[in-house]
Amino acid sequence: MVSFNRKPFLQVPVRESVDFLGIKEEDTSDYKFKRLSRVSQLKVKILYEFVVNNKYIPEAHRKPTKKQAEFLVRLDREVFFGGAAGGGKSDALLMAALMFVEYPQYKAILFRKTFTDLALPDALMDRARAWLSDTDAKWEDKRKSWVFPSGATLTFAYMKTDGDRYRYQSAQFHFIGFDELTQFNQIVYDYLFSRLRKAANDPIPLRVRSASNPGNIGHDWVKDKFIGTKKFIKSLLTDNPYLNIDDYKRSLAALDPVTRKQLEEGDWDVSFQGNMFKRHWFPIVQASPASYKRKVRFWDLAATEKIEGKNEPDYCTGTLLARDGDKAIVLDVVHVRLAPTETEATIAAVAKADGLSTRIVIEQEGGAAAKLLVDIYKRTILKGYRVEASKPTANKVVRAKLVSAAAGRGEVSVVEAAWNNSWFSELIGFPDGIHDDQVDSLSGAYNTLFAAGNVSSKGLPQAAPVPKVGWT
């Protein structure tokens, strides 16, 4: 609990501020509320003392939305603000990190998955720069930290791999924040949580605050840990009065149904509603085990160059799959929409990176033109590599059944990578999604490696529910 002896609070009666924090006025006369009114009054004072009167938070942000206010005054050690994109989560996270910077010993750190995520325009570091550049806080570029006159620090960091967590083995913080928490595995969150430490007489509260949309590799564990609990604050588009909702919805309209429902509605259940694939069937791993030596890169070339406002073509997709016995692992997915010459250059570069030992299979649709295209790749673009054509003999749903069954048994894992979220969204939406080229490429790769006579004899999915496979 914060000690509020540093300076006196503004005199802000609870009754005059109940609406601001979402407390019903009529509840103030209830006996149960009277017992809790000291807590409510404390929350109001925290908000006014450390947010409304905080000179390091721009004036335009000092009157937070109700959801943001709730996020800022929660007394729980960990709170998660999640749901629809555009609900003001990132601003709330930065405000939370700045609340106690006038205390000399205060140390806060904000994490994104990669440095690029931190440094993008309007991302956390850019936003903090806009907020703090005209204040007496000083930026230390080497440490990626803002240092305040009190001596308090706000540091920005990234956690690209799970192993990066050990860089903080000896660190201690009052505040740890995760932006887009679902991009992280739980092992990272739990380890950093243990870095919350302070001296016995330190009045500053220890807090972990996180924000995220549904989806991505950490969807399952975040959902299990927070959704439906008192530590969860749901974000909606309507929570942000500064957002042009109609324009934002139009920008989301081109997304696949799964991703659109996640970002527009903050739906944490939609990712489990796929017709043929469930997200939790696929264990996430950091790297491919050495035993997975048989590899194939399967290309679905059914793509045309996108013309803005005129078409919504499929992508050129190449899936790199490896096999060890009955197990398979998705190592890499190339997913591009380019002009023909750029596509050829990309496929050639990918083949060089994969190496000569990797089989290359190109899906050959019907017709002489398709056959000619594959021949060109064999004779020129991919000359010297093991290249073969694959002629579809059934529709895409039928072709996906074998890999769907294997995934349901926990036999298909996925290497953690930036393409995971898009890939999962398409699989989950299949066969009703806007695009299916990643599914088709996966099916082709799997069916190539597990051809007739080599496919597991366990068969297609049975009526009984498939047991959940947890994240690794």
pLDDT of residue 472: 20
Question: What does the mean pLDDT of the chain come to?
Answer: 79
pLDDT bracket for residue 110 (50, 70, 90): very high
pLDDT bracket for residue 264 (50, 70, 90): low
In this model, does residue 243 exceed pLDDT 80?
Answer: no
Residue 309 φ/ψ region, left for φ over 0, alpha for ψ in the -120 to 50 degree band, beta for the rest: left
Average pLDDT rounded to a whole number, residues 230-256 = 68
Average pLDDT rounded to a whole number, residues 85-114 = 91
Of 208, 435, 187, 469, give the one whose Cα is nearest residue 327. 469
And the tokens for 166? Answer: 């050990």
Q: pLDDT for 73-83, tens place per residue?
A: 988 999 999 87
Amino acid residing at 321: L
Q: Any residues with CB less than 8 A from the CB of 18 and at least 6 apart, and which?
A: 24, 25, 28, 40
Q: What are phi and psi of 271, to 5 degrees?
A: -65, -10
* Helix, strand, coil tally for the chain in percent (to 5): 40, 15, 45
pLDDT of residue 246: 66
Q: Any residues with CB less than 8 A from the CB of 384 and at least 6 apart, and which?
A: 356
Q: pLDDT for 158-215, tens place per residue?
A: 998 888 999 999 999 999 999 999 889 899 999 999 999 998 888 899 999 999 988 7
Percent of the chain with pLDDT over 70: 75
In this model, does residue 30 exceed pLDDT 60?
Answer: no
Which comes out higher in pLDDT, residue 341 or 57?
57
pLDDT of residue 18: 36
In this model, does residue 348 exceed pLDDT 50?
Answer: yes
Average pLDDT rounded to a whole number, residues 341-366 = 89
Q: pLDDT for 283-315, tens place per residue?
A: 989 888 888 889 999 998 875 444 444 345 668
Q: pLDDT for 384-440, tens place per residue?
A: 898 988 888 778 887 888 898 898 889 999 999 888 888 988 888 787 667 788 999
CA angle (91 as vertex; 89, 95 as ends), nearest 5: 115
pLDDT of residue 173: 96
In this model, does residue 14 exceed pLDDT 90?
Answer: no
CA-to-CA distance for 10 and 15, rounded, in angstroms?
14
CA-to-CA distance for 193 and 208, rounded, in angstroms?
7
Q: pLDDT for 356-367, tens place per residue?
A: 999 999 988 767
pLDDT of residue 454: 42
pLDDT of residue 19: 39
CATH H-level superfamily of 54-265: P-loop containing nucleotide triphosphate hydrolases (3.40.50.300)
In this model, does residue 87 exceed pLDDT 80?
Answer: no
Is CATH 1.20.1050.10 what the domain over 279-449 is classified as, yes or no? no
CA-to-CA distance for 162 and 176, rounded, in angstroms?
16
Which comes out higher in pLDDT, residue 131 or 281?
131
pLDDT of residue 266: 64
Q: Sort strands 359-363 and 294-300 into parallel, antiparallel or unpaired.
A: parallel
In this model, does residue 456 exceed pLDDT 50?
Answer: no
Average pLDDT rounded to a whole number, residues 122-137 = 94
On the question of a common fold for 54-265 and 279-449, the answer reads: no
**Domain residue spans of the chain:** 54-265, 279-449
In this model, does residue 322 exceed pLDDT 50?
Answer: yes
pLDDT of residue 66: 84
Q: pLDDT for 206-237, tens place per residue?
A: 999 999 988 777 888 999 999 989 999 987 76
In this model, does residue 2 exceed pLDDT 80?
Answer: no
